[in-house]
Structure 1
């Protein structure tokens, strides 16, 4: 690949000097601009960015030192070399303090100015390589964070590594894991590390949108498409143009809509409800689910071809009970963040309290841990969180399966109903009966929670 042409700005009040330097540097392959004083030099750096700036010290109107002071942070991406026929150690030192890289005395030979610029180029190359080496060392050594996630366990380091790799490409990603493991945080991290980071990331929870509306939400509709469609409306695919669309709980998308979603993924085109022509979209899709999609395929609830289209790069998030080494790190992270939002001054967690947290099964995963920390911080009467500040329920150190009664046989439907009943009651207890917060913890819609509460006779 052809190397990008370097750009140089010459700031000098002597026309002959400007002409000589411009002719010489163009011959060496540089793109050259000129300015006759510091003020015109400032105007040039406002219009364009330059790799190098050659600036005379003594000039009318605005001299070289005044130019350096006035330019300030605008010179951060440029290497400045000062020139003067009145050179002295003091002037050179002052110029360096103001951000200049080097100082050269006039008159100088052509080869002298060329070598000075070559030395500056080598310095810039070494700086770039050093930064890249630091990034590589950090990744090889294992960064403890990715986006808003933290983790030092082998499992989470694997997740971070995979997410960093896939962020550079536009491949579709399918993130799986139990409720509360942080699937949306991984999606956010991938988006922020990608070239699409300056465009929007649009999240949508497929389980929270009524079946009758989800097609219109995703693909948009035209005026008159159905009762109440009084104007054209863009869908979320178009709203996410140039960015990322995060389809959370993709396993809950209606079977009837799955062929249309598959077509969008294949053709990169959307057709609004009631429309007769398609619109091309440039969107990266990241999907997530807490369901076992292969089981959903076997039960006829999910299309196999859609699964393979989504599952280009799979990322599986481990439950918190399988990475207990991360619990102390997560606790520190949450305490630091919550101290700011709550205005509290919690310093640490006692060893006895930490032992309880390490033994708990965390069926709600990281989200449950965060809620437990916040609740404990609100109840704490000292700077240290103690065991009595935590209320984790009787299921703390038991196997979650032991709480399901299997006396009624091997019916998955019955077992699932019992598990849903238990988790709903636990979420309501943890939120003091706040059904909106409980629905968020359970990752279901508020109407769905009310329906299940009625089904299981929960008051």
Structure 2
């Protein structure tokens, strides 16, 4: 086995460095000191360092305590939680709380990488390794040297890529595509998953041995529906953020709007709330954001379940229930019927809401969204363009 002379770390030195325990976090400029939960009078709640994880609820406090403690060690960390809960922010918090904070933090979304692309992006490649390899390329491991590599949505990796990652975790060494040399790396690995990896293991889609390697330390980022006490804090935080970004002055959220936001289910979690406040801030002309500027499509509503079909097709006389809610919501009826027009209205409503939901779950990634729904990527892209849906609103 050959180790490149450009990478002077010996195996013993690398192991010694990996076992180093960092001192407590200190001295980082921003809203607070990394690793310390500090109150913020202008919004209430507490924050974690410059990554701006804000809130005051017990579930979030538990997560922040874990980040503060785990950040001091070089062991791998697995971050779990639904999409939009702030897993990358948690990963950055772990990085800035440790001894590697002065070195690169590199994040990669595994959902966008095929097996071949994963090897090239993470390990790098040599010139001529494949058709388009016109020059040597440094991999993300080399870019993140002495720092942190964050593998987001690790559950999306193929089994082949998982095997390559397992070797990296076991030996702290890798070989670029097309190279005969093996390189040592000094990088802390943090991974995230927004699904139950145990279920993936049972289905044969995730390696059990890789799970054990990653499952040394775990941070769970709670869903927003489990920390609704944080919504007022987050709203004020985002309003300050957008006031600084656009320089349009500070705006406040009236109590009735806060109550409405707290009543919603937020399937897209904090990211969805941030996008909503972003919209409200830009559309509200006065010094306060208003409820009338909420998105017209209520993606928080429960999925429509049609009532059992009856023979008389009349409303339920006993409770006055409407058996045709979908058509009435689209303005169909009241003596004005046109099958072609009404069908188009219903299809457009369905397509727009469907695209909004799937893009939110795919973090705005069209390729992943197409794979999730079994549709051609180009065709899905045309539909997204047709309804003028901005993918950027769903990206972390």
Q: CA deviation at 1:309?
A: 0.5
Partner of 1:209: 113
Instruction: Work out whether 1:454 is the aligned partner of 2:375.
Output: yes
Which one of 46, 68, 76 corresponds to residue 144 of structure 1? 46
Distance 1:257 1:323 in 2: 35
Distance 2:277 2:93 in 1: 23
Instruction: Work out whether 1:294 is the aligned partner of 2:215.
Output: no
- State the secondary structure of the residue aligned to 2:375: helix
Partner of 1:442: 362
Which one of 253, 272, 276 corresponds to residue 372 of structure 1? 276
User: In 2 relative to 1, CA 208–425 (structure 1 residues): closer, same or farther, beyond 3 Å?
Assistant: farther
> How many residues are treated as equivalent by the alignment?
303
Instruction: Work out whether 1:308 is the aligned partner of 2:212.
Output: yes
Distance 1:261 1:424 in 2: 38
Q: CA deviation at 1:156?
A: 0.4
Q: CA deviation at 1:440?
A: 7.0
CA contact (8 A) 1:424 1:442 kept: no
Partner of 2:13: none
Distance 2:82 2:53 in 1: 16
User: In 2 relative to 1, CA 367–210 (structure 1 residues): closer, same or farther, beyond 3 Å?
Assistant: same
Instruction: Work out whether 1:263 is the aligned partner of 2:167.
Output: yes
Partner of 2:104: 200
User: In 2 relative to 1, CA 198–138 (structure 1 residues): closer, same or farther, beyond 3 Å?
Assistant: closer
User: In 2 relative to 1, CA 231–237 (structure 1 residues): closer, same or farther, beyond 3 Å?
Assistant: same
Q: CA deviation at 1:429?
A: 5.1
Q: CA deviation at 1:445?
A: 2.8
User: In 2 relative to 1, CA 313–299 (structure 1 residues): closer, same or farther, beyond 3 Å?
Assistant: same
- State the secondary structure of the residue aligned to 1:356: helix
- State the secondary structure of the residue aligned to 1:152: coil
Q: CA RMSD in A?
A: 3.1
CA contact (8 A) 1:155 1:323 kept: yes
Instruction: Work out whether 1:278 is the aligned partner of 2:198.
Output: no
CA contact (8 A) 1:360 1:395 kept: no
More helix per residue: 1
CA contact (8 A) 1:346 1:377 kept: no
1:16-70 Cα distance to aligned partner (Å, 9 max, x none): xxxxxxxxxxxxxxxxxxxxxxxxxxxxxxxxxxxxxxxxxxxxxxxxxxxxxxx
Distance 1:331 1:162 in 2: 24
Instruction: Work out whether 1:155 is the aligned partner of 2:155.
Output: no
Q: CA deviation at 1:307?
A: 0.6
CA contact (8 A) 2:126 2:136 kept: yes
Whose relative contact order is higher, 1 or 2, with alpha carbons under 8 Å and at least 6 apart?
2
Partner of 1:414: none
1:170-200 Cα distance to aligned partner (Å, 9 max, x none): 0100001111000000111111111101100
CA contact (8 A) 1:271 1:279 kept: yes
- State the secondary structure of the residue aligned to 1:454: coil
Q: CA deviation at 1:232?
A: 2.1
Partner of 1:230: 134
Matches within 5 A, 1:46-445: 139=37, 144-146=46-48, 147-391=51-295, 393-396=297-300, 398=301, 400=302, 402-403=303-304, 425-426=352-353, 428=355, 439=359, 442-443=362-363, 445=365
Distance 2:67 2:56 in 1: 15
Partner of 2:327: none
- State the secondary structure of the residue aligned to 2:63: helix
Distance 2:350 2:83 in 1: 11
CA contact (8 A) 2:38 2:47 kept: no
CA contact (8 A) 1:201 1:244 kept: yes
- State the secondary structure of the residue aligned to 1:202: strand
1:286-314 Cα distance to aligned partner (Å, 9 max, x none): 10111211111011110000011011111
Q: CA deviation at 1:386?
A: 1.9
User: In 2 relative to 1, CA 326–245 (structure 1 residues): closer, same or farther, beyond 3 Å?
Assistant: same
- State the secondary structure of the residue aligned to 2:267: coil
CA contact (8 A) 1:427 1:442 kept: no
- State the secondary structure of the residue aligned to 1:368: helix
